[in-house]
Amino acid sequence: MFPTRESLTICFAHAAYQMKARFDARDTGIKSFQVRAYDDLVKRIGEADVVVASGMWKNDVIPHASKLKFIQSISSGMDQYSKEMLAAKGVRLASAAGVNARAVAEHAIALILAIARRLPEARDNQHKKVWRGMIGDLAQREDELGGKTLLVVGMGRIGSHLAKLAKAFDMKVVGIRRDPTAGANGADSIHGMADLVKLVPEADFVALTCALTPETTGLMSAAAFAAMKPSSVFVNAARGKVADEAALIATMKAGKIWAAALDVTVDEPLPATSPLWEMPNVFITPHTAGETRAYEDNVIDILMENLDRLWRDEKTLRNQVL
C-alpha cells in the first residue's frame, strides 16, 4: 500500500538542482529531505518512500531502500534504472519526459542561429579584441534561415516544438520519426527512420532531437554524414550516441560539411583529448540544452500529479515506466 500524505517521506537527490527548496515553496506539508552526494543517498535512502533523482541514482542503492515505493526521475533518460530490479521490489518508476522539451527546442534553434550568424566566431573575436571586416566571399558570410530546409530527426515533444520555431523563421521542415502515421507534428512532411540517408541531401540543417534507443543508436551514421551537403550544418540536441562520433570527427576534419553544433557527446564531459574541442567549425555547449530556471518546478508538477494518482490507487502514472 502506498503511504498516506501524512506518513510519506520524499528524498530529493541531485548535486545541483534546488528541488527541496522549490518543493517547500508549495507548502504541501509532506516531509522531505535533500542529499547532494551519492554516499549520503546510500546512508539515507532507507528513510524514503519516494526518491526524486536522475544522474545520482545507481542500482546499488536498491538493497538499502527498505521503504521505497516510487521513483520520480528528474530526467527523461532512464538508462540508469534497472527496471528488472525495481520491478522485483515492487517500486514504481516514472520519467520526466517533456519537462524540458521547450528548453531543448529553444536551445536547438539557438545553435542553428549561432552557426548561421557566426556568433561563436564573434565571441572569440571579442575576447581577442578583433573587429572583423566585411566578408566578400558569399560562401563564408553570415546567412539567413528563411527558405532553408531543416531536417528534424525525432518529431516528439522536442522535435515538434523545434519545427514550430523553425517555421517562424520561414524554414521548410522535414520530419523523421519512428512511426510516421502518428502525425507530422508541425513538419511539412513526415518520414520513417529508414529514410534518413535519403533525406539528408535535401537539408541545410540536420537536427537530432530523438530519444536514445537501440533503434536510434548510431542512426546518424557515416553514410548519413557522407550524404550531407558541403554547405550544411549538423546539430545534436539528442544524445551523443545517436551519432557516430568517429564519423562526425572524420567529416569535420575533411571539411565535408560547413559546421556542427553539439550539446551532447558520446563521453561526457567531453575528454580533453577529443579533436572536437579544437575544430573551429564545431560549436559545443556542455549538455545544457535542457537547463532552465523552470526545471525544478516542471519536475515537481509531474511528481505531484503522480503522487495524487498513487494516493487514488490509479494503475497508470504520468510518464510511467513501471
239 is catalytic: yes
d(CA 183, CA 116): 29
Name the catalytic one among 84, 144, 215, 268: 268
Nearest CA to 203 among 161, 175, 168?
175
Euclidean distance between CA atoms 280 and 255, whole angstroms? 11
Which candidate, 258, 265, 201, places its Cα nearest to that of 233?
Answer: 258
Cβ distance 107 to 289 under 8 Å?
yes
Question: Does 92 participate in catalysis according to the annotation?
Answer: no
Catalytic residue among 118, 157, 161, 239: 239
- Of 112, 47, 5, 70, give the one whose Cα is nearest residue 319: 70
Torsion of CA 135, 139, 140, 141, to 10 degrees: 60
26 catalytic residue (yes or no): no
- Of the candidates 36, 178, 287, 318, the residue annotated as catalytic is 287
What are the residues whose beta carbons fall under 8 Å from the beta carbon of 214, sequence distance 6 or more? none
The Cα-based distances of 316 to 11, 73, 77, 132, 278 in angstroms read 22, 16, 19, 58, 48
Active site residue ranges: 239, 268, 287
